[in-house]
Structure 1
């Protein structure tokens, strides 16, 4: 998820072209709501978003019994994620599409 609709659409198209199903959200609160309805295999989120930031989303997912084990890939222009966040991976923006796809394959057991 990302709060930039153009980037969100581009990333979604890329991921879908590799055979992944995609749920899109423009903010963390919407992502949490969607995850509760249809549990995803992995969450990719930006750190800085309106309504609920990526770090708050990671914490909220960790507190949900049915979602606590979801791998989360956190993307951000910051140099490194806060040390207290339990994420499967961190991608510093800008990142190569191949990096994102490799992480998705790794954390969803798709090779």
Structure 2
């Protein structure tokens, strides 16, 4: 069973994504800010991190930078979710724009776990 860390300060969205991912068979960890997410990454080494771009304390891109700077977490794929038009390309593996469809989220996570390309990963290359 793959472990996914969801990091988002929108608790309603966090719960919705958590419910869907658990139904799909994933073990789900959650964080409501980037600082807490980094602590969980360091302790749990999830298989994939899904993070909102705009969060308190540490944003999603800074979370990616910190993960990439740590040898133990550098290889963990990261999906950044954003409502912004432009997000710095700094360490994330896939980029999804809000509103995020469940099918796109699942596709991105599964493709990162298997190494197969997904629509989300292809979109992120063009960002």
What's the TM-score, normalizing by structure 2?
A: 0.82
Q: Is 1:48 aligned with 2:19? A: no
Could you tell me which of 29, 33, 46 is aligned with 1:23?
29
Which consecutive unaligned segments of at least 5 residues does structure 1 have?
A: none
Q: Alignment partner for residue 10 of structure 1, among 16, 23, 27? A: 16
- Structure 1 Cα separation of the partners of residues 21 and 30 of structure 2: 11
Once the two structures are TM-superposed, the CA of residue 110 in structure 1 deviates from its matched residue by 8.8
Give the number of the structure whose residues are more often strand, by fraction. Answer: 2
Q: Provide the rounded CA distance (Å) in 2 between the counterparts of 1:66 and 1:37.
A: 10
RMSD: 1.4
Residues 1:102 and 2:121 are matched in the alignment: no
Q: How many residues align?
A: 110
Question: 1:86, 1:28 → 2: CA distance?
Answer: 15
| Residue pair 2:61, 2:91 contacting (<8 A) in 1 also | no
| Whole-angstrom CA distance in 2 between matches of 1:109 and 1:51 | 32
Per the alignment, residue 88 of structure 1 pairs with 93
Gaps of 5+ in 2: 1-6, 117-127
Following TM superposition, the consecutive aligned residue runs of length 4 or more in structure 1 with deviations greater than 6 angstroms are none
Please give the alpha-carbon distance, in whole angstroms, between the structure 1 residues aligned to 2:86 and 2:80.
10
